[in-house]
A and B are shown apart, each in its own frame.
Chain A
Amino acid sequence: DQQVKQNSPSLSVQEGRISILNCDYTNSMFDYFLWYKKYPAEGPTFLISISSIKDKNEDGRFTVFLNKSAKHLSLHIVPSQPGDSAVYFCAANFGNEKLTFGTGTRLTIIP
């Protein structure tokens, strides 16, 4: 039962354009959402998070949007840079429960 879904396994975007990564969830109890970025041979690193009381959080080139009614969140990267090429995981949890991760989206930025 995949409670956090990333339906696009891969995405290619031209350098300088906007990258939009999507994530859907099924558990309405989730109240905290995070994005992690993973390079090959490295562990995931935290990128940005959002609480369910907000619908947007911004950090530099990265913005996360949360649509609770649609149980959908997205990560926008503007402008995309070659160093952004990585696998991106969205994750969610509530209370003291475990962090539930999606299956990841491999983002490739084309120079």
Chain B
Amino acid sequence: KAGVTQTPRYLIKTRGQQVTLSCSPISGHRSVSWYQQTPGQGLQFLFEYFSETQRNKGNFPGRFSGRQFSNSRSEMNVSTLELGDSALYLCASSPRQGNTGELFFGEGSRLTVL
């Protein structure tokens, strides 16, 4: 069974630009969550999607958005990039709604904002 796939793995952007990250969950998993990992902050929850609907949202500004497609693939978008957005963005999938159990993480997309 293929794992969670995230693309791109690495990218460099400049301040003010926007970026779109993609996540393909494990086949059959309908829940996709996004996390931001920065040094000293651990994994900060961004949002969770289940059946194309956002079910939960973390404390991030509106510049961070996401969506989920009918095949459960998900994208997240960050607009008007700031230096502080440099981080590893992790996607995780689960067969159930809500992060009540084990999450399966992808390898992440490392974003550098210059």
Total interface residues in chain B, CB < 8 Å = 27
* Chain B residues within an 8 Å CB radius of A102: 42
- A46's nearest neighbour on chain B, judged by CB, is B102
Chain A residues with a Cβ closer than 8 Å to the other chain, count = 26
Segment with Cβ contacts to A, from B61-69, B76-84, B90-98: B90-98
Enumerate chain A residues within 8 angstroms of B107, measured Cβ to Cβ.
41-43
Within 8 Å by CB of B92, from A32, A43, A96, lies: A43
Q: Annotate A81-96 by CB proximity to B: 1 below 8 A, 0 otherwise.
A: 0000000010101011
A63 CB within 8 Å of chain B: no
Most buried by A among B58, B100, B107: B100
Instruction: Decide if A18 is an interface residue (CB 8 Å cutoff).
Output: no
- Give chain B nearest CB distance to A30 CB in angstroms: 12
Residues in A with CB closer than 8 Å to B42 are: 4, 6, 89, 101-104
Which listed residue, B48, B103, B106, touches A46 by the CB 8 Å rule? B103
Inter-subunit contact A96/B97 (CB<8 Å): yes
Check if A96 sits within 8 Å of B100, measured CB to CB: yes
Complex contact B56–A44 (CB within 8 A): no
Q: Nearest chain A CB to B112's CB is how many angstroms away?
A: 15
Report how far A32 CA is from B96 CA in the complex, Å: 15
Closest to A90 in B: B42
When distances are taken between beta carbons in the complex, the residues of chain A under 8 Å from B43 are 44, 89, 91, 101
User: Chain B residues near A34 (CB, 8 Å)?
Assistant: 102
Type the 1/0 row for B37-62, where 1 means its CB is closer than 8 Å to any CB of A. 00011111100100000011010000
B4, B103, B106: the one contacting A99 at CB < 8 Å is: B103
B99 within 8 A of A: yes
Closest residue on chain B to residue A100 by CB atoms? B45
